[in-house]
Structure 1
Amino acid sequence: MIRDDIKAATVQAMKGGEKERTNTLRQIAAKIKDRDIELRTSDKQTDDDELVTGVLQKMAKQRRESIEMYESGGRAELAEREKGELAVIEEFLPQMMSEADVMASIDTIKAETGAASMKDMGAVMGELKKRHGAVLDGKMASALVKQSLS
Structure 2
Amino acid sequence: MGLKEQITDDMKAAMRAKDTSRLGAIRLLTAAMKQKEVDERIELDDKLILGIIEKMIKQRKDSISQFEAGGRQDLADIEKAELTVLSAYMPAALSEDEIRKEVAAAVAETGAAGPQDMGKVMAVLKSKLTGRADMTAVSGMVKTALSGKA
| Alignment TM class, shorter chain as reference | 0.7 to 0.9
2:148 is the alignment partner of 1:147: no
2:130 alignment partner, SS class: helix
CA contact (8 A) 1:129 1:136 kept: no
Which of 101, 107, 112 is matched with 1:115 structurally? 112
Tell me the alpha carbon deviations over residues 56-78 of structure 1, each in whole angstroms, 9 at most, x when there is no partner: 11111111111122222222221
- For residue 19 of structure 2, what is the aligned residue in structure 1? 18
User: For the residues of structure 1 that align with 2:53 and 2:129, how far apart are their CA atoms?
Assistant: 16
Question: Match of 2:3, as an amino acid?
Answer: I
More displaced stretch, 115-124 vs 49-58: 115-124
What is residue 79 of structure 1 aligned with on the other side?
76
Q: Tell me, what secondary structure is at the counterpart of 1:65?
A: helix
Give the TM-score of the pair, scaled to structure 1.
0.87
The match for 1:5 is 6
Counterpart secondary structure, 1:135: coil
> Equivalent residue for 2:56?
59
Q: Distance in 2 between matches of 1:117 and 1:46?
A: 38
| Contact preservation (8 Å) 2:93, 2:133 | yes
Shift of 1:8: 1.0
Q: Which amino acid aligns with 2:10?
A: A
One-letter amino acid matched to 1:10:
M
- The answer as to 2:93 corresponding to 1:70 is no
Work out the percentage of aligned pairs sharing the same amino acid. Answer: 36
CA separation of 1:97 and 1:46: change in aligned 2, threshold 3 A:
farther
State the superposition RMSD in angstroms: 1.8
* 1:47 shift after superposition: 5.8
Matched, 1:97 2:94: yes
Bigger Cα displacement from structure 2, 69-78 vs 56-65 = 69-78
The count of corresponding residues between Structure 1 and Structure 2 is 146
Query: Could you say what secondary structure the match of 1:66 adopts?
Result: helix
Structure 1 unmatched ranges of 5 or more = none
Give the structure-2-normalised TM-score: 0.87
5+ residue gaps, structure 2: none
